[in-house]
Structure 1
């Protein structure tokens, strides 16, 4: 019985059509890195993505998940009480100030996300612009910016953040004032990193032949900088962003632990809660310090795992190893199918 050629062509075209429709998903940034990773590297990347996603969702859904407000110390039944152990009413117990630990941990995630977003976004924009201008034009401006960036980069980051937090906040620790003060103080610490990376890439890219061709054609400097130089100089920035996000969480926690964070009546902050719980540990009250500490460790670890995995995947040697594994798998499947055919013929 003969099979129509048209039906065979239609049946064979269906998988190709389906693959073409969803090809964009396979090329998505995170999905592409997961497909490139192998073995332990894939496990670390997936763990980092999972922890970071949970951290962001916890911050976004804080008004729905938190049983109480960040500064709430009583409800209709009365006061929560101080240093109460975990119970059905307060799953993580209460602090020395009478706050619900679970609510403080959840609202603290929202504070951390806001600080990280503001700090990383501001430092990214300022650092990229300064690096682009410095690397492209050079001259005395380049020398001055490099000198200032090296001086800031050599200064202890936490000490610089403390100094800037005092200057920016002016002793005030309201919610948005404290968040902006912490974010801007962290921004100054991060700017030299983006500046140095972008500047070095711009210096390399501006000597390429396509940039010289654009200059010969009379293309304005602004167009060359944005369409030719900048687009080829920011490929490694996503890796730095993930690593800086974890560093921003630790810096924010350090500021709060040293007393330069946000007051508990304004917003929840993990570092401040951890500092207030230090005296409780010696008295056997473990819950006031354990849960804020775990939140800091888990959030920083998730972003660090994701950043380090992405950084390793940028190594060409890992990509070649992954490609070799895929080719070996294809050869193995082909050889097995050939053996089966021989057995069928027999």
Structure 2
């Protein structure tokens, strides 16, 4: 008697790749959530992101209006205004929630622009090791020795004051650190034997950089992105505090600038200064905690204690 077995179809390469990615993501999350500091930072960022997303429903769509301000100028914290009011009588709590949107948006966009430039420069400089790599890295070194904030202020001063100018000013001045890290990782990847085999089989520059180098540097890029976001938020707040931000939008740095112009420091109106400053510090710390945890998970050799 003969027995027949049903043929089991072999999984396609794409299905296998998706399964490996799911396993890697699950393994990453298991390791990430074992770090209490990273989880705390992630929870804080989730709450702040929800506040920014639902700002119109939480504090009202007209809470930024000067003409319909519900309170008097510079009122101290009370039951009606938990964080007091600004010089126009607007609720500082409402302005703080609205400022979350701008500060997070600028931080994320500027960080992505900075990391994209740094990744492109780092990968190409590590792959093309001749005169191109030398010239690009000398330019990178020049940007590294120049004060980032001074360059951002100069660029924001030359261009028109807007949200996109702030994003551009931060993005094009904070990429050198990422470029040097990615270049070092690219050199390490291209020294591996399978890169030589790929070249021997006819793999061109684009194939090697996109199919072999870039996937291996992406974990480093991900960790660097979370760290750059906190720097971008701090730089945006500094530019807004110096009066180089968009005056038509509410941001945390803009609130500090308004407090300075209203004389909150000399008059002792601490409620005008403390909330925006604490919000900037908390968000920057939360992104830093997440970034350090991601870096530790992706590179266990760092050995950061939990």
**Shift of the alpha carbon at 1:285?**
1.8
- Which of the residues 194, 199, 206 maps onto 1:215? 199
Distance 1:67 1:90, change over 3 A: farther
- 2:6 alignment partner in structure 1: none
Q: Report the structure number with the largest CA radius of gyration.
A: 1
Is 1:232 the counterpart of 2:232? The answer is no
Distance 2:57 2:26 in 1: 31
Shift in CA distance, 128/257, structure 1 to aligned 2, threshold 3 Å: same
* Aligned residues between the structures: 284
1:36-47 → structure 2 map (5 Å cutoff)? 37=34, 42-47=35-40
Partner Cα distance (2:110, 2:274) in 1: 27
- Is the 1:119–1:248 contact (alpha carbons within 8 Å) kept by the matching residues of 2? yes
Match of 1:262 among 211, 230, 246: 246
Distance 1:223 1:25, change over 3 A: closer
CA distance in 2: counterparts of 1:88 and 1:317, whole angstroms: 48
Aligned to 1:112: 103
| Partner Cα distance (2:302, 2:141) in 1 | 31
Q: TM-score, normalised by structure 2?
A: 0.84
CA 107–30 in structure 1, closer or farther in 2 if over 3 Å, else same: farther
1:123-142 equivalence runs, <5 A: 123-142=114-133
CA distance in 1, matches of 2:140, 2:288: 24
Distance apart, 1:53 and its partner CA: 1.3
Deviations 1:36-74 (A, max 9, x none): x3xxxx221121111111122222222222235363124
- Quote how far apart the aligned CAs of 1:26 are: 8.4
Please show how residues 33-182 of structure 1 align to structure 2 within 5 Å: 33-35=31-33, 37=34, 42-69=35-62, 71-75=64-68, 80-169=71-160, 173=161, 178-182=162-166
- Contact kept, 8 Å, 1:131 with 1:194, in 2: the verdict is yes
TM-superposed deviation, 1:155: 0.9
How far does residue 92 in structure 1 lie from its aligned partner after superposition?
A: 1.9
**Take 2:99 and 2:169, find their aligned partners in 1: how far apart are those partners?**
19
Gaps of 5+ in 1: 1-20, 323-346
Question: Scaled by the length of structure 1, what TM-score is found?
Answer: 0.75
> C-alpha separation between the residues in 2 aligned to 1:65 and 1:34?
31
Distance in 2 (CA, whole Å) between partners of 1:166 and 1:98 is: 30
Report the RMSD for the aligned CA atoms in angstroms.
2.5
Partner of 2:189 in structure 1?
A: 205
Q: Is the 8 A contact 1:242 1:306 kept in 2?
A: yes
Contact 1:107 1:267 survives alignment (8 Å): no
CA distance in 2, matches of 1:110, 1:25: 34
How far is the alpha carbon of 1:108 from its aligned partner? 0.7
1:32 to 30, 48, 55: 30
1:138–1:168 Cα change, 3 Å: farther
Q: Is the 8 A contact 1:68 1:100 kept in 2?
A: no
Distance in structure 2 (CA, Å) of the matches to 1:309 and 1:284: 39
Would you say the 8 A contact 2:296–2:303 is kept in 1? Answer: yes
2:168 equivalent among 184, 188, 202: 184
